[in-house]
Amino acid sequence: MFQKPRGTRDFLPDEMERRRLIEQRMREVARRWGYREVSTPDFEHLELFTMKSGEGIIQEMYVFEDKGGRKLTLRPEVTAATLRMYVNEGKVLPKPIRWCYFADCFRYERPQKGRYRQFWQFGVELIGADTALADTEVIMLADDMLRSTGVTFDLHVGHLAPMKHILAELAPEEQRAIMAYLDKHDKEGLEAALVERNLTHLAEPLAALSECREIAEVFEVAGDVPERARIEETFALLDSQNINYQPDFGIARGLDYYTGMVFEGFARNLGAENQILGGGTYRLAHLFGGDDVASCGFAIGFDRVMVSIGDFDLAHEPVVGVVCTPEARVRALEVARAFRNAGIRAEVDLMQRGMGAQVSHAAKTADVAVILGKREVEAGTVTLKDLHSGEQQEKSLADAIAWVARHGTC
């Protein structure tokens, strides 16, 4: 017997209905904000992801060669692919461009609860607006979208400028190395890296920056940061809209392309793997042959959102089981089609069971049995049987459909 590949999951109908419901809520929020859906290929050229993040990322991806010897990878995230699509297809579109996507991604890492090798992201990219107002819109949209799912979360908002200002004496690759430890909250690794590079004098300001919870504190620690006005404006706009967030200038973000404002969301009821959202401002298009356009976006870890929400009751919709004698099978197909055309789920017995067995089976999967025998076919009627109460009555097809649509039972 074959098992599913490690790090993947099977979803049965109830779980898929829950996932589609939450997905649809998020889509509706994106629609109201003016973000339209795009889609990119499941696999891309490997260089799309190594160009900025380096060869080290390869060990975290599913990489392969096609029959033409081209190096490809299943996408580990969608932002780079979306900006590649912008360069290919969207440079002439009026800006700002508001795009969103819902896509599965693939990463080769150790599976655990909330972390899988195939996972889904709902993402948003705002391309072409380089203002505090644009940053604010994206954060507000992320907040609105998470709230629509029913998940309880904490939103942290920061900016990379103060941290980079503290690390300004370092080469870019050293900055990336230090920020990688900060992103992973690896205190021991950070301390060892600072000692190894003879940078222990940076430990105190980095620790102090991570503890800052007020704007004034940030600039006391980091000094004269050129982006100060932009940072203060963004936070003032968020405050003006009563967005519930926590200033957090210890956010480093793991991907290399973030340039300014960054933010993360954390589910309150999850353990160590509690981050459900991450985003910020970035510049990627110029790496792919496009203009140096400012962008801002985020991705929501859909799977972790679903784990955080847990199981919940689905809205019940009536199900009709059509039961018939052999001579009524053609009429059964017509009746089932009439219910379906009215928007009601209808199932016809396909096993050629006897009438009693058909009713017994319908009682396991349906609310109402629609019984068709010789009398009903000749009279042009149906017999409705409430499979919960046992009550039954004969009606015209139109009246039967109306009853089920109104009450779910007869």
Tell me the binding residues: 77-79, 107, 121, 125, 253, 257-258
Tell me the residue length of the chain: 410
The CA distance from 133 to 296, in Å, is 11
Give the position of tokens 């004098």: 201
The CA distance from 7 to 32, in Å, is 34
Residue 281 identity (one-letter amino acid): T
Q: Please state, as a whole number, how many other Cβ atoms lie within 10 Å of the Cβ of residue 218.
A: 26
Beta bridge partners of 59: none
Give the position of tokens 């080290």: 56
The CA distance from 116 to 368, in Å, is 40
CA distances from 341 to 5, 401, 409 (A): 39, 10, 18
The burial class, CB within 10 Å (0-12 / 13-18 / 19+), for 398 is exposed
Residue stretches of the annotated binding site for L-histidine: 77-79, 107, 121, 125, 253, 257-258
The CA distance from 107 to 254, in Å, is 14
What sign does the CA torsion over 238, 240, 244, 247 have?
positive
**81-84 — which CB contacts under 8 Å span 24+ positions?**
81/40, 81/41, 81/44, 81/48, 82/38, 82/40, 82/123, 82/125, 82/297, 83/125, 83/127, 83/284, 83/285, 83/288, 83/290, 83/295, 84/40, 84/44, 84/48, 84/288
